[in-house]
């Protein structure tokens, strides 16, 4: 096994962002990568490629489904859509993440004298 | 073996889909960068840099699916054994049928193999015949022939190139040590002509030494 490239994201973070993005509208891989990059103001160091294993995991778990279609620029692309299971999974993940984030923020907050 | 075909077709289909998808991704990025005024080669280099290691991405993506078919197979087996356990009578009959079927086939094959497929280790084995007598009074098969009968066969069956008499026997082998009983075959001198075999060393005995002792 090769070691994966260093990633600044915790496991599942990329999947969560993909699901959240697909909740807005179905997208193909490239558009998905660009959207995440743009929306995050390039703050996240994500290699575009790492999107694909994540998408395969989501496909396998039945959280998204894929179908070949045509993009706005008339390209043959694989468009990913959120499934109902994916929708509920995203909601659960997001509330769990918010709880975790709140906990971490509280601990990291400067101690009041 | 449809599940096996399914397995390979879905896998190859998925693999080529993935490769096509990644190729499209890179091309789309290149087009965009070129539209922004970059040269094609510089755009290709940047697209690859942004994408990361293509081979590694493909491998990681495939790895996701790798063991799924095995898990499916295991689940199928679990389901099958559970179903079989629930209807034990049916299972018993199926197992018995299979066992008898396999056993009978194996037995028949063993015979066919010995009789038809593996021929005797002599030249022209299909020309060898074994003659024996049969009692009509009692139900005795494979009775031996008397020496006069053997002589009769010898004169009355000209289709046979050579005839030879033999008799299963045992002999004691003993040198200086403890004697040992071995399986033996009493044969006449024609025996070697019938089987068309030659000794490794020396010679066999010849017909002149064969005599019927009359009492």
Residue ranges of chain A with per-residue pLDDT less than 50:
1-7
From chain B residues 148-167, the ones with a CB under 8 A of any chain A CB are none
Selected residue with higher pLDDT from B82 and B173: B82
Distance between B83 CA and the closest CA of chain A, angstroms: 27
Are the beta carbons of A84 and A104 closer than 8 angstroms?
no
pLDDT, average across residues B174-180 = 81
The pLDDT value given to residue B104: 95
Among 3.40.1010.10, 3.30.70.2860, 2.60.260.40, 1.10.10.10, what is the CATH number of A13-108? 1.10.10.10
| Selection from B39-43, B65-69, B177-181 with the highest mean pLDDT | B39-43
Of A30, A53, A71, nearest to B61 by CB-CB distance is A53
The pLDDT value given to residue A1: 44
pLDDT, average across residues B123-141 = 83
The pLDDT value given to residue B30: 92
In which band, very low, low, confident or very high, does the pLDDT at B214 lie, cut at 50, 70 and 90?
Answer: low
Q: Indicate the burial class of B51 (C-beta count within 10 angstroms; 0-12, 13-18, 19 or more).
A: buried
Lowest-confidence pick of A47-61, A89-103, B6-20, B186-200: B6-20
Of A4, A5, A76, nearest to B24 by CB-CB distance is A76
The pLDDT value given to residue B6: 60
The pLDDT value given to residue A4: 46
In which band, very low, low, confident or very high, does the pLDDT at B94 lie, cut at 50, 70 and 90?
Answer: very high
d(CA B19, CA B59): 10
Of B29, B52, B65, nearest to A30 by CB-CB distance is B29
The pLDDT value given to residue B212: 60
Task: Enumerate the residues of chain B whose CB falls inside 8 A of the CB of residue A33.
Answer: 25
Domain boundaries, chain A: 13-108
Residue of B nearest to A56 (CA): B61
d(CA B127, CA A111): 107
The verdict on a CB contact (< 8 Å) between A77 and B21 is yes
Could you give the 3-state DSSP secondary structure of residue B39? Answer: coil
CB proximity list for B164: less than 8 A, separation 6 or greater? B187, B188, B189, B190, B191, B193, B194
- 8-state DSSP, B115: I
Mean pLDDT of chain B: 84
pLDDT tens for each residue of B98-122? 999 999 999 999 988 877 777 778 8
Of A2, A55, A60, nearest to B56 by CB-CB distance is A2
The verdict on a CB contact (< 8 Å) between A56 and B21 is no
Q: Does B29 touch chain A (CB under 8 A)?
A: yes
pLDDT, average across residues B38-61 = 89
The pLDDT value given to residue A87: 94
Spell B73-83 as b/e; 16+ CB within 10 A means b: eeeeeeeeeee
The pLDDT value given to residue B68: 66
């Amino acid at each position: 096994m090769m070691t994966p490239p260093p990633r600044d994201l915790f496991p599942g973070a990329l999947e969560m962002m993909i699901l959240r993005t697909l909740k807005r509208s179905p997208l193909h891989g490239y558009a998905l990568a660009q959207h995440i990059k743009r929306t995050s103001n390039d703050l996240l160091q994500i290699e575009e490629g790492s999107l694909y294993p994540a998408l395969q995991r989501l496909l396998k778990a039945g959280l998204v489904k894929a179908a070949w279609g045509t993009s706005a620029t008339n390209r043959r692309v694989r468009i990913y859509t959120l499934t109902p299971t994916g929708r509920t999974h995203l909601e659960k993940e997001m509330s769990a993440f918010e709880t975790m984030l709140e906990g971490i923020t509280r601990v990291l907050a400067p101690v009041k004298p | 073996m449809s599940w096996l075909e399914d397995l390979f077709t879905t896998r190859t289909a998925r693999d080529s889909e993935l490769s096509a998808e990644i190729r499209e991704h890179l091309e789309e990025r290149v087009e965009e960068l070129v539209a922004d005024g970059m040269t094609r080669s510089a755009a290709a280099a940047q697209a690859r840099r942004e994408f990361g290691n293509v081979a590694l991405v493909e491998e990681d993506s495939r790895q996701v699916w790798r063991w799924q078919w095995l898990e499916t197979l295991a689940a199928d087996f679990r389901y099958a054994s559970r179903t079989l356990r629930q209807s034990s009578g049916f299972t018993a009959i199926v197992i018995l049928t299979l066992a008898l079927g396999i056993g009978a086939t194996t037995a028949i094959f063993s015979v066919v193999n010995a009789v038809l497929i593996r021929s005797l280790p002599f030249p022209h084995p299909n020309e060898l015949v074994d003659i024996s007598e049969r009692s009509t009074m009692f139900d005795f098969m494979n009775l031996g022939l008397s020496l006069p009968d053997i002589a009769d066969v010898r004169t009355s069956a000209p289709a046979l190139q050579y005839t030879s008499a033999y008799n299963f026997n045992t002999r004691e082998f003993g040198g200086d040590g403890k004697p040992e009983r071995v399986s033996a075959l009493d044969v006449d001198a024609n025996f070697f002509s019938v089987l068309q075999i030659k000794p490794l060393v020396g010679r066999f005995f010849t017909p002149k030494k064969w005599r019927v002792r009359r009492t």
